[in-house]
Every structure is written in C-alpha cells, then in structure tokens.
Chains A and B, each alone.
Chain A
C-alpha cells in the first residue's frame, strides 16, 4: 500500500481569529427570521416562505423514531453569522484569516487541479466563488443560492421548496426558515458538464448552526456531477447542521451527487435530501458519513415518470460516541422505474450505525425493479448495527429484493495479512478499504485519496 504523508491537524483545528460582523445568537423567533431575510435583501416571497416555515418548525415535534435528539438546545444556536461583508471571486481579496483557513484545507491547490468551479462556504455565507468561463459559456449556472435569488429570481422561485416542502419535517422547516448559503446549479437542456462541480463546506464557529440550502436543476437531457465535502474543527459545545438539498432531474437528465461528510464529533447532522426523477432520468446519490455526534440522513429519490432510475450508494462510519442513522428512500410512482440501493456501514469503539430505508411502490406502478443490499462491518462487542428496511409495495407486478449481511472483522483475514508483513493497523485499513472499495470507485480521484485518508484516521483507534 502506498504510504501517504498526511497532515492530521488539517481535520482538527479551528480558526479562532475569525471575525463576525453580524451575529444572531439570541435564539429564534419570527422577528429574527424576518431580520435575516431583510439583512439579505430578499424578495417578499422569500420572507413569507421563511416566516411560514418558522411556524411549521415551532409546531413540529422533534422526531423520536431515530437517534437521540433530545439534547439539542434550539436556544443555544447561532442562526446567522456573517464573517465578512463582501463576496468575492478573487482569492486575494479574502480576509487573511479566512484565506489561512482555506489554505490549510488546500482549496487553491484543489482549484488548480482544474476543478470546474470552487464555491467555498465560510460560516453561513459563501464568500468565495469562482466559476470557470467555459461553464458560463455553455449556460451552466453555478453560484451560491443567495446570489441565485437576486440574479435568477424566476428560476429559483419556480423550483425552491418544491421537492422538499417547508413542512416536510422539523429540520427541513428550520432550514427553510433560516437558511443561508448552499449551491444553486442549473444545467440547460442537453448540456453535459464535462467535469464534476465541486464545493467545500466548513463550520468554524463554536455552537454554530449551518443551514445551507442547495438546489440543482438538470433540464432535459442534461448531465452533471456535483461533489460536496465537509470537514469540521472540534468544538466544546453541541453544534447543529440542518441542510436541505433539492434535486430535479428532468426527462433524460442524469444527476450524480457525491457527498463526503466528516463532521467533528459534537455536530448534529440532520439533513433532508431529495430528488425528483422524471421520464427516463437517472439520479445517483453517492453519500459518505463519518464523524458527527448524530447523523440522520436519508437521501431519497421520487421516481415520478416511466423509465426513471435511481442509484444510492452510501457509506457510514460510526466511531466512539457517534450514531449514524442513515439510509435512503426509493419511491416508485410510475411504471418501469428502477432503484438500486447499496449501503455499507462500519462501527467501532462503541459507535452505532442504523440503516433505515424505505422502498415504496405505488399502485399502478407496474414492472418496478428495486434491489437493496446492506452490509455492515462491526469491530467489537461494544458497537452496534441495526437494519430497518421498510417496504410498502402496493403493486404486485414488481421485483423487489433485499439482502443484508453483518460481519465482524475477520481474525483469519487479519492473520493472513499480518503474515505478509502488514501491521495490525495496516491490515485493518486494507480490509476496511476493501469493504468500501465499490464506493471509493465512484469518487473523483483526488476525492478518493482524501476519503481513504479520512477512513484511515478513523481506524487509528481500532487497534487493541
């Protein structure tokens, strides 16, 4: 195995000198929601959308069907912070401490490697945004969602909140009320984006909520891959991240959405991600979750029209004190639709993984094909893994399969590799990276390298 030199501090630091010009940290009220909207100079429909969502948020109970969320204190969260006043697409214009943070994250190098556009989220707002000219020339819009509201109001209004209603669940409602930042992407008819679009996210203030809002629209026959990655510093207090991601894949479009999240171990990561796939469209969620205290995330695809397809491939890794409650939903609303679900979970040092999935086939959606495969790898007797594959099949003419396996990391496998000179840690890494190999193959190469490093960092505590 190639030895990789690695700077661990990159994943465990915080930039304490970041300056906040405006902070809303006195809890949440209708008034605060209105002020956020006003501060952002938003159109009236968005202010109404937020206020309406806030009302849903207040009414909705904290969900109790999944991981333990009872410790979240909504009064203790900063709902909006602005680290710098101006937005820029020139690296040198950024304040020095912010530049320093991103230098540690390696953003400029990544950009040099011909990333097609870098959008960086610092605190609640996108402060750095550059999109290469060639993308603009083919009509691709790739900007932060706040900018999109100002520059493309009709387009945003048409799709915003249409896939995930503000009343979908408590955290989608919260996001709808206080959202800031996130990516907006529009790919025009027939345009195939030749390289992945990438965005980097980062939380940097203690006890700070992040409520980014991403909206991707692939028009007829369009093709796009979007890559999103998160790393976070360590905090002393609980932190909440409640993102909403909406994807619309029109007829014959293909959207591949790749996420690697590695939150610090005090973050509640409660994300609502959903896609609508229309006639013969193909939507892929490639989703990895590491770190955080609790993650609840179930990227879903609604197969709206005949011929629509979905592929969801996910990896969850739960280390000490972490609960990854993840899964997916495939909702078949039309005939001849198909879904493939593959889930890989790893738990160690008392970590807990839960697969929670739903395959739904509506009456009249004939010739549906759906297959689910969940594999879990468990390291010790203190860790726990559960699988809850829900099925609601209202149409007999469908082919549904489900397979699940739970394996303990094999002593004989470790012995074999160690007898070939690998240390216990190297052997564990090799087995774990093998277990998730089919996931890593889906990642762009520089991302795959980074991902393997993150896995290895997590395995360091696994050696007894």
Chain B
C-alpha cells in the first residue's frame, strides 16, 4: 500500500510555531478527512507537505513510500505524485490557462497528444466553459470556478496523494455534490487528504479516516463514526 506518513511534524512561520507535532497518514486509494476550527493549522499542514518555502520545518518527518519528502524541492514532490489543491489559487497575469495545463501535464505525466480533448471533456463535466482556456491563469475566475479548476487539475494530473484544502468552500450545492462524486470516483486510485470546514461534502462521500486538528496538532482520529459524533455533539465536546 502506498502511503504518506507525517510524524511529529513541527513547523514555524516568522519565528512563530504553527505545527506542534502532527501525526497523520494518508493512504493511496483512501479518503482521509481533516477537520478543525479556524487557525488550527490545517492549511499550514497542507502547505508544509507540498513544501511552501514560507514555512520552516523544525522537527519531524514526512515519508512517502519510505522516501523523505522534506529533502525534495516542491516540483520534485509534485513529480512523486503529491498534489495540493489550493484554498486560494493565485492569479498570474498573462499566463495562458491552456498553456499552463499543458506544461503541468507534460512535467508530471509526460506528453499526451490527446490532452486537449481530455481537457475539454473534463471541463464539460465540471461545468467550466471552454473560454477559460484562453484566459490568464485564475484571473477573472469566480471563487467557485477557481475551486473547480483545481479539481480539474486533480482529474488531469492523477496524483497519488491529493490534498484538497477547503475545496468545497465557496462551492454551491450542485458543485459540492459533483465534487463528492468525482472524489469518490478518483479515490480508487488517489489518496485524498480532504480539509473541510463544513460537513455538506460528507453527505456524498464516506471517508475512511477522520482526524480533528487543534492548535497545530491532531487531537483525535477515527473512522466515519467520528463524523456522526461531531454531527451530534459539535466540535466543542471533542476539543
């Protein structure tokens, strides 16, 4: 089983400690949901796994299939099959969206003469208009469109481990349903770390693992039952 293991991970930003010893595992082919209050460190964890240079790892390790990810550059992690769907994807003026997709795909999966057809097909599925491809990257996209565009990249780049950082926030009900179906489908081959604030998405997918984060640590982990418990009792009982 291909697996990413985060162990006793500590990280800081501008001298301030933001991860306080995180332990979490994500298995390829499984869905792991990560919940927790604002500022608990969920996004930070996602960024540190991908290698955002803004954060300094001060202790702990991240292994993927036995390899030390912390030693790899950002693009090398991507080439190992790690993907981060950003909570707030950046806009880059003048960078053509189609060109970006082709470049990313070429780097991560090699050349594919059928890629353009594939892109159009998947965009239809996601209800994204073709005209997007001619625009600048993420520029003039609505919040929901940006999230669906991140999902499009998951579909095209087929990572081994995909971290979805609040991909459901800003999505309407129909999109959340679509997200659920697509994630379920992709999870046959991809391992998901799904960071979410609200549990709508959990009406459509049944996670294999659930973890709750607070103050830069995982404070509770369990299976689907944990969600039932949260639904009944709220976070407060757990925290």
Chain A residues with a Cβ under 8 A of chain B: 1, 410-413, 415-424, 426, 430-431, 433-438
Set of chain B residues within 8 Å of A421, measured between Cβ atoms? 75, 78-79, 104, 107-108
Q: B215: shortest Cβ distance to chain A, in Å?
A: 25
A413 and B74 contact, CB distance less than 8 A: no
Is B170 on the interface with A (CB-CB < 8 A)?
no
Is B73 on the interface with A (CB-CB < 8 A)?
yes
Q: B94: shortest Cβ distance to chain A, in Å?
A: 3
Complex: chain B residue closest to A407, CB-CB: B93
Known: A418-B74, A422-B75. A434 touches B93 (CB 8 A): yes
Is B140 on the interface with A (CB-CB < 8 A)?
no
Set of chain A residues within 8 Å of B100, measured between Cβ atoms? 417, 420, 430
A1 and B84 contact, CB distance less than 8 A: no
A410 and B90 contact, CB distance less than 8 A: yes
9 other A-B residue contacts (CB within 8 Å) besides A416-B86, A416-B92, A421-B107: A413-B92, A417-B100, A419-B74, A419-B78, A419-B84, A420-B108, A420-B153, A430-B92, A434-B96
A434 and B136 contact, CB distance less than 8 A: yes
Known: A1-B103, A420-B153, A422-B107. A412 touches B90 (CB 8 A): yes
| Alpha-carbon distance A411/B74, docked complex (angstroms) | 12
User: For residues 78 through 101 of chain B, which have their beta carbon under 8 Å from a beta carbon of chain A?
Assistant: 78-79, 83-84, 86, 89-90, 92-96, 99-100
A436 and B108 contact, CB distance less than 8 A: no
Q: Which of A423, A433, A434, A438 contacts B75 (CB 8 A)?
A: A423
| Alpha-carbon distance A424/B107, docked complex (angstroms) | 13
Complex: chain A residue closest to B83, CB-CB: A419
Set of chain B residues within 8 Å of A436, measured between Cβ atoms? 94
Is B53 on the interface with A (CB-CB < 8 A)?
yes
Known: A430-B95, A434-B92. A418 touches B73 (CB 8 A): yes
Set of chain A residues within 8 Å of B106, measured between Cβ atoms? 1
| Alpha-carbon distance A111/B92, docked complex (angstroms) | 36
Is B220 on the interface with A (CB-CB < 8 A)?
no
Is B193 on the interface with A (CB-CB < 8 A)?
no
Chain B residues with a Cβ under 8 A of chain A: 50-54, 73-75, 77-79, 83-84, 86, 89-90, 92-96, 99-100, 102-104, 106-108, 136-137, 153, 157
A422 and B103 contact, CB distance less than 8 A: yes
Q: B196: shortest Cβ distance to chain A, in Å?
A: 20
Q: In the complex, how many residue pairs between chain A and chain B have their CB atoms under 8 Å apart?
A: 83
B95 and A416 contact, CB distance less than 8 A: no
Q: Which of B89, B94, B153, B157 contacts A433 (CB 8 A)?
A: B94
Complex: chain A residue closest to B78, CB-CB: A421
Known: A418-B75, A419-B84, A421-B75. A435 touches B94 (CB 8 A): yes
| Alpha-carbon distance A417/B95, docked complex (angstroms) | 11
Known: A418-B73, A438-B94. A1 touches B99 (CB 8 A): yes
Set of chain B residues within 8 Å of A415, measured between Cβ atoms? 50-54, 74
| Alpha-carbon distance A418/B54, docked complex (angstroms) | 14
Set of chain A residues within 8 Å of B51, measured between Cβ atoms? 415, 418-419
Set of chain B residues within 8 Å of A417, measured between Cβ atoms? 92, 100
Q: A380: shortest Cβ distance to chain B, in Å?
A: 15
| Alpha-carbon distance A1/B98, docked complex (angstroms) | 10
A419 and B50 contact, CB distance less than 8 A: yes
Complex: chain B residue closest to A421, CB-CB: B107
List 9 tightest A-B contacts by C-beta distance, closest first: A434-B94, A421-B107, A437-B94, A434-B95, A420-B104, A418-B74, A421-B108, A1-B103, A421-B78
Set of chain B residues within 8 Å of A411, measured between Cβ atoms? 53-54
Set of chain A residues within 8 Å of B86, measured between Cβ atoms? 416
Q: A448: shortest Cβ distance to chain B, in Å?
A: 13
A420 and B53 contact, CB distance less than 8 A: no
Set of chain A residues within 8 Å of B96, measured between Cβ atoms? 434, 437
Known: A411-B54, A421-B104, A423-B75. A416 touches B89 (CB 8 A): yes
| Alpha-carbon distance A419/B103, docked complex (angstroms) | 12
Q: B105: shortest Cβ distance to chain A, in Å?
A: 9
Set of chain A residues within 8 Å of B136, measured between Cβ atoms? 434
Q: A430: shortest Cβ distance to chain B, in Å?
A: 6
Q: B79: shortest Cβ distance to chain A, in Å?
A: 6
Set of chain B residues within 8 Å of A413, measured between Cβ atoms? 90, 92
A418 and B90 contact, CB distance less than 8 A: no
| Alpha-carbon distance A415/B165, docked complex (angstroms) | 15
CB<8 Å pairs between A and B, sample of 20: A1-B102, A415-B53, A416-B86, A416-B89, A419-B51, A419-B74, A419-B78, A420-B153, A421-B75, A423-B73, A423-B75, A424-B73, A424-B75, A426-B103, A430-B92, A431-B95, A434-B93, A434-B96, A434-B136, A437-B93
Set of chain B residues within 8 Å of A424, measured between Cβ atoms? 73, 75
A418 and B103 contact, CB distance less than 8 A: no
Q: B46: shortest Cβ distance to chain A, in Å?
A: 11
Set of chain A residues within 8 Å of B137, measured between Cβ atoms? 434
Set of chain B residues within 8 Å of A437, measured between Cβ atoms? 93-96
| Alpha-carbon distance A418/B51, docked complex (angstroms) | 10
Set of chain A residues within 8 Å of B83, measured between Cβ atoms? 419
Q: A141: shortest Cβ distance to chain B, in Å?
A: 38
Complex: chain A residue closest to B106, CB-CB: A1
Set of chain B residues within 8 Å of A412, measured between Cβ atoms? 90
Set of chain B residues within 8 Å of A430, measured between Cβ atoms? 92, 95, 100, 103
Q: A4: shortest Cβ distance to chain B, in Å?
A: 13
Q: A220: shortest Cβ distance to chain B, in Å?
A: 37
Set of chain B residues within 8 Å of A420, measured between Cβ atoms? 75, 78, 100, 103-104, 107-108, 153, 157
Q: A268: shortest Cβ distance to chain B, in Å?
A: 31
Q: A436: shortest Cβ distance to chain B, in Å?
A: 7
A418 and B78 contact, CB distance less than 8 A: yes
Q: A67: shortest Cβ distance to chain B, in Å?
A: 28
| Alpha-carbon distance A171/B100, docked complex (angstroms) | 45
Set of chain A residues within 8 Å of B95, measured between Cβ atoms? 430-431, 433-434, 437
Set of chain B residues within 8 Å of A423, measured between Cβ atoms? 73, 75
Set of chain A residues within 8 Å of B54, measured between Cβ atoms? 411, 415
Known: A421-B78, A423-B75, A430-B103. A416 touches B90 (CB 8 A): yes
Q: A28: shortest Cβ distance to chain B, in Å?
A: 45
| Alpha-carbon distance A414/B214, docked complex (angstroms) | 29
